[in-house]
Structure formats: C-alpha cells, structure tokens
Amino acid sequence: MQKLIEIKNLTVKYGNNVALKDADLSIFQSDFIGVIGPNGGGKTTLLKAILGLIQPTSGNVIFSEELKDKGGDIGYLPQVNKFDQRFPITVKEVILSGLARRSRWAKPYSKKDNNKLEQLIGELGIEKLVSKPIGELSGGQMQRVFLGRALISNPKLLILDEPDTYVDNKFEHELYEMLLSLNKRMAIMLVSHDVGTITTYVKGIACVNTTLHYHPSNVISPEQLKAYNCPIQIITHGEVPHTVLGSHSHIHKH
C-alpha cells in the first residue's frame, strides 16, 4: 500500500509550551484514522503541521511524490466556528474556492470545474442552497458546503477537524456513511471528540496528548488508552465490543 505522508519526530513548540513532542505517524493510501485526545492535547497542531500552516520546531512532515504540489491533493475541512459567518460569500463560491492553488491565481473556472461542482452539489444534497450566502445556512448545511470545498479538488487525503460539532444526529450519521464511501478512493484523517461514534468507522486510532500513539485498529481497551497517556474514559458495551466512549457527565446504566 502506498504511503502518502510520513511524520517523523515531529515537535512543535509555541514559545516554551510544547504542543507536540516526537510524534511519528505514517498515513497510507486507504487509511481512515481517527484522531482523539484531550482538548489542548495537540490534535489541531498535528493537522496544521500536515497542512503546512505551522513550522515544526524539529522533525519532518514528508510528503509522497503525489502530494507534493499541495494543489488540492489534501482536502481540508476546518472547524466551522472559526469563520466569520457574515462574510459575503455564497455557497457556490465557497465550494469552488476548493480549486484554489498558487498556479491558478487568476484562471477562470473551466467547464470541467463546473461539472464537478454540479455533481458535488447533487451528492451533498444542497441544490437549493447554491446561491445563498453562507450566513443563512444551518450548522449541518455549512458542514456539507465545507465538505464540498474539501472534495472538489479530488484530494488523495481528506482531513476533517471536528466535523461533528454543531450538527444534528441525522447529519452526523449521513456524514460518516459518506466518509466510508469516500474512503474507497481517498485516505481520511478525522479529529473528533465524539470518540464513541468514530471508532465504529475508523480503521486506526491516533491518540494525541503531546505525544502521539498510533493504534492500528478501532478496537481499543482502557488499559491501552492508559498506556498511551490518553485520558479518555471508555465504557465497553456488550453488543458493540469495540466502542470507545468519551468522558460522560451522566451515569450509564447497564
């Protein structure tokens, strides 16, 4: 299987604050990696280092030949709360912006681009939203639009940063089903704090808490999590043996 990205001894410091220390991770062609860990544990830092948004203090992120031009081979869905939701931009403009790259600053969109846009809009079920400003969308609709932006460039790796926030259960389920079918043609890296749900879909789990431990299956035990220094409480249900749950404030009855 082809390796897309190799992360070697990656350390990122913000001032004296160590966000990520000696992280190693390889991402292969058909991987579906769930990234879990406590808030402030370095999950977003890891994504930013892969996307080239921050410079590592030491260590490397090595891209395979196919990923080198950064011209859309990595699709990225950031956290939605990060945007100015009143920015004057339409759904269509947001999705098409996924085609942006340095080498096409001013090139108009081609017929092929527009066909791809039409196809995505159909797949995502957002036909009626195309000319709306993003400020008029609900959380779930907005996630669809940003997924469209991430997918329009036919990426080989799709990175999603907490796509399950601000969405209802129905969309969450649809999203994961969509990701499963996308995983047939691209690698996926998914950051989530909804640990319970993602473990039923992912093929491997990366526990990030300053250090990174990769667990090459979606079955993970409390002992393993403890050994990985990943302070997430898990409860194993009888019928779904591989479910991992995040810390709950309410009491579970079995």
Partner 1 sequence: MIELLQYDFFRNALLAALLTSISCGIIGSYIVARRMVFIGGGITHASFGGIGIAYFAGINPLLGAAVFAVLSALGINYFTSKGNIRQDSSIAIWWSLGMAIGIIFISLSPGYAPNLMSFLFGSILTVSGTDLLFMSAISFITGLLFLVFFRSIMIVSFDSDFAQARNLPVKLFDYLLIVLSALVIVASIRVSGVILVLSLLTIPQATANIFTKKFSSIIIVSVIIGFVGMVTGLMAAYYTNLPSGATIIVVLTLFFAAGKLVSRCLKPSAMKLNQY
Interface with partner 1 (CB under 8 A):
48, 51-53, 70-72, 74, 76, 78, 82-84, 87-90, 93-94, 97, 100-102, 105-106, 128, 133, 135-136, 149
Pairing of strands 157-161, 74-77: parallel
- Minimum distance between the CB of residue 44 and partner 1, rounded to whole angstroms? 10
Pairing of strands 204-209, 32-36: parallel
- Shorter beta-carbon distance to partner 1: residue 82 or 111: 82
- Minimum distance between the CB of residue 99 and partner 1, rounded to whole angstroms? 9
Both structure tokens of 54: 């921050």
- Shorter beta-carbon distance to partner 1: residue 88 or 238: 88
Specify the DSSP class assigned to residue 109.
P
- Shorter beta-carbon distance to partner 1: residue 127 or 239: 127
- Minimum distance between the CB of residue 111 and partner 1, rounded to whole angstroms? 17
Please count the CA atoms within 13 angstroms of the CA of 199 that sit on its side-chain side: 26
- Minimum distance between the CB of residue 82 and partner 1, rounded to whole angstroms? 8
Q: Are 75 and 151 in contact (CB under 8 A)?
A: yes
Q: Are 6 and 26 in contact (CB under 8 A)?
A: yes
- Shorter beta-carbon distance to partner 1: residue 60 or 109: 109
Q: Are 172 and 197 in contact (CB under 8 A)?
A: yes
